[in-house]
Amino acid sequence: MVISSGDELVDIDQQPSPVQIRKSNSYTIKAVLNQHHIEADLVHIPDDPQITREKIGYYLDNYDVILMTGGISMGKFDYIPKALEELQVKTIFYKVSQRPGKPFWFGKHDNAALVFAFPGNPVATFMCLHRYFLPWLRLSQGLQESIAYAVLDRDFNFGPELTYFLQVKLQSSKDGRLLATPIEGNGSGDFANLADTDAFMELPLERSEFKRGEVFRIWRFV
């Protein structure tokens, strides 16, 4: 089950007002899951605390895994954290020292249903899906995780003390190395920027300067 939330979202066939945007995250998640032979159900929850609690409670009783996008921060209309708490979904962790996707939430219900709650920004949702959910999915199916690395082909700086998932374009060099070129966008809301990239390169939080020729792990999405 894939759950989106927020009154600011309208469906893709509707014209958004100046304070609305079209849904993209739930359709993105569904498309990625289709690539892994999983047909996901989609539902949208409005910004209403009672409806949020009732709907999530129903899906917890009827699905093994729930993926959420949006409504997980501590904003005025973010009712999902309280609803999960009231429904006795145990928080395994909340917030990760990373960018994008810091407000990522993961928990487990008493009936064993798992909840992956991604931030609402599209790049953050996309990254967390590939970095956390898909590795869990493969391991739960008994599949071995394929670990890949690439060579950073230009210097890159990132100041905050956060693990940074850098969007990169991959290409092979003449000497057989996999090179990763940074493709910087306009933040975690710049979903279109992903069209020019192939993977996220995971840069460790202990550093702020990353030099050309250094090798780091990558998370492919194409």
For the stretch 74-119, pLDDT in tens is 666 688 999 999 999 999 999 999 999 999 999 999 999 999 999 9
Q: Mean of the pLDDT values across residues 168-189?
A: 93
Shortest CA distance to 201 belongs to which of 125, 99, 106, 116?
Answer: 99
Mean pLDDT, residues 189-210 taken together: 94
Reply yes or no on whether the pLDDT at 66 is more than 90: yes
Residue 76 pLDDT = 67
Domains in the chain (CATH in brackets) are 2-140 (3.40.980.10), 148-220 (2.40.340.10)
The C-alpha angle 185, 189, 191, rounded to 5 degrees, equals: 70
Confidence of residue 12 (pLDDT cuts 50, 70, 90): confident
Is residue 195 over pLDDT 80? yes
Q: Which residues contact 12 (CB under 8 A, 6 or more apart)?
A: 22, 23, 24, 27
- Find, among 130, 113, 116, the residue nearest to 32 by Cα: 130
- Rounded Cα gap, residues 62 and 119, in angstroms: 23
Which two structure tokens, joined as six digits, stand for 3?
Answer: 């759950």
Average pLDDT for residues 159-168, to the nearest whole number? 97
**Cβ neighbour number for residue 67 with a 10 Å cutoff:** 25
Q: What is the pTM of this model?
A: 0.94
Mean pLDDT of the chain: 94
pLDDT at res. 77: 65
